[in-house]
Amino acid sequence: MRSDLMKKGLERAPHRSLFKAMGYTDEEISRPLIGVANSANQIVPGHVHLDMIVDDVKAGIRMAGGTPIEFSTIGVCDGIAMGHAGMKYSLVSRELIADSVEIMATAHPFDGLVLVPNCDKIVPGMLMAALRLNIPSIFISGGPMMAGSTAGKTVDLISVFEGVGKVKSGSMTEEELKLLEDCACPGCGSCSGMFTANSMNCVTEALGLGLPGNGAVPAVHAARRRLAKSAGMKIMNLVMKGILPRDIATLDAFKNAIAVDMALGCSTNTVLHIPAIAHEAGIDVDLALFNEISEKTPNICHLSPAGPHHLEDLDMAGGIQGVMMEISKLGVIHPESMTVTGKTVGENLKGVKIENRKVIRSVEDPYSSIGGIAILKGNLAPDGAVVKQSAVAPDMLINEGPARVFESEEESIEAILGGQIHPGDIVVIRYEGPKGGPGMREMLSPTSAIAGMGLDNSVALITDGRFSGGTRGAAIGHISPEAAEGGPIGLVKEGDIILIDIPEKKITLKVGNEEIDGRKRNFNPRPPAITSGCLARYARLVTSASTGAIFKG
């Protein structure tokens, strides 16, 4: 066993003594030692209940003959960090989480790992660590939050974000917003729509590293606790059989995950995280692969913010396994891929049924014949940009208008809520990329303000930053190269005409080549504003969003 490195033989008597100082018996020490990475804290709604989930995981490990050893990781609540300097630290935390799990599982060589994340950067951070370490691993998320309800209407966190703009525009009172604030998030779990946290938990299941149900079973359902116990038992099977994360997360498995991503209409952040996770497995997932799979995979689910459904509806309709079963009819799922069940994807899908065709449509009757995400390129984004096309109004799929240029998120919000943005405008927010931010903030506040002001069907937004999975509308992010790296978004001037053509996968700055070349010669990118601490180090090390914003070297 791998843990023998710290517990077996005469020379390890001091090590065993330290285990006994914590109350471990000889019998416990002799068993396989399973690290349990618990990201519980009291600032993230998706994590506030994870101690209970971890207790169930540990019970499962003990039932199957192992000894669980719990350790912790950090976690940022993107919703609470949104709209201020705190959001600069969200993406950075992904790398710190991956590093911390690597450190804990190498300094203390566990025989296997159960990783218990739930929200935005914790899931990809732990996935990166699992593939980097490549020891038997299984994921069990804390599960999605239930949707809220007020005045007979289903609501969620995005309803509150958009409510701010509605109050500013006069279409909602402050009293109505307060009622919404009190009802939108009814309890623990990752926010209830197909936002980044739930997108990544669904991707984990589709990738084969989480058990069936990992992505959609609600946090408050007893089925989530049973799933946690099953995960604890299954890790012992993976350890005994020597099934490793890289045996599961092959290129075909990543293609499965991207296909599910497209069918669900997941967060655009998956385009940032999937390449970074694959990189840890030594697999190159190019942005072109997303468009290639999107062309073959219909969008068959419209979950919030794209539509009225939430994760609880998806769970009752058949969950991720139901989605995989449905799109497998088109040959976009690789059934031979191994999963943490010890069975292949094809074996897992036997007997799976879809219970609600309003939530999971058939491939013959999709919302769209192509997937939920598109990668755009053009002279404004030579290395690519990303849009959640399933959440874009039909009239905005092709859009041309004057640029309204802002050097930060805060400047744009002030202009939007101040009534300075008009129908037909294209809001440009730059110096918010991985290096320029630094930290690549999510622009949920500006997009929610646009929607709340009633402009989501007439105003587009482009940025070298990124978007929350809760963003809807013509919001194009990850513009690469970013402004701080000398990218063309840094050359845009107020009033320049920009053409967005999502069906053709193009984004174009309609300025002559001579003029662009002249601007380039006189362009000196603004250096990152933060020059100390982890953000300064991040700005020096981080690569482009087009390569997953991983670290250099």
Residue 151 confidence (pLDDT): 87
The whole-number pLDDT of residue 167 equals: 95
Q: Looking at 468, 480, 544, 546, which residue is catalytic?
A: 468
The predicted-structure confidence for 322-361, as pLDDT tens digits, reads as follows: 999 999 999 999 999 999 999 999 999 999 999 999 999 9
pLDDT by residue (tens digit) across 149-186? 998 899 999 999 999 999 989 999 999 999 999 999 99
Cis amide leading into 305 (omega within 30): yes
C-beta separation of 180 from 327 below 8 A: no
CA distance linking residue 378 with residue 268, whole number of Å: 19
* Share above pLDDT 90 across residues of the chain, in percent, rounded to a whole number: 97
Is pLDDT at 469 greater than 90 in this prediction?
no
Q: Within 10 Å of residue 283's Cβ, how many Cβ atoms?
A: 17
| Residue among 348, 344, 359, 301 at smallest CA distance from 325 | 348
pLDDT one-digit tens code per residue, 396-429: 999 999 999 999 999 999 999 999 999 999 999 9
| DSSP letter assigned to residue 145 | P
> CA–CA distance from 228 to each of 47, 92, 98, 125, 210 (Å)?
14, 28, 22, 20, 10
| Of residues 428, 409, 438, the one with CA closest to residue 549 | 438
pLDDT tens string 4-54: 999 999 999 999 999 999 999 999 999 999 999 999 999 999 999 999 999
Closest alpha carbon to 38 in 133, 104, 136, 134: 104
Q: What is the largest CA-CA distance in the chain?
A: 76
| Residues 405, 430 contacting (CB under 8 angstroms) | yes
Q: Would you say residue 129 has pLDDT above 90?
A: yes
CA-CA distance, 175 to 193, in Å (whole number)? Answer: 24
Helix (H, G, I), strand (E, B) or coil at 233: helix
pLDDT, residue 457, reads 94
Mean per-residue pLDDT for 239-248? 98
What is the number of other CB atoms lying within 10 angstroms of the CB of residue 514? Answer: 8
Q: If you search the block for the tokens 């293609």, which residue do you land on?
A: 255
Distance CA 171, CA 149 (A): 19
- The model's pTM is 0.96
390 is catalytic: no
Strands (E) located in 140-295: 148-150, 153-155
Q: Are 442 and 90 in contact (CB under 8 A)?
A: yes
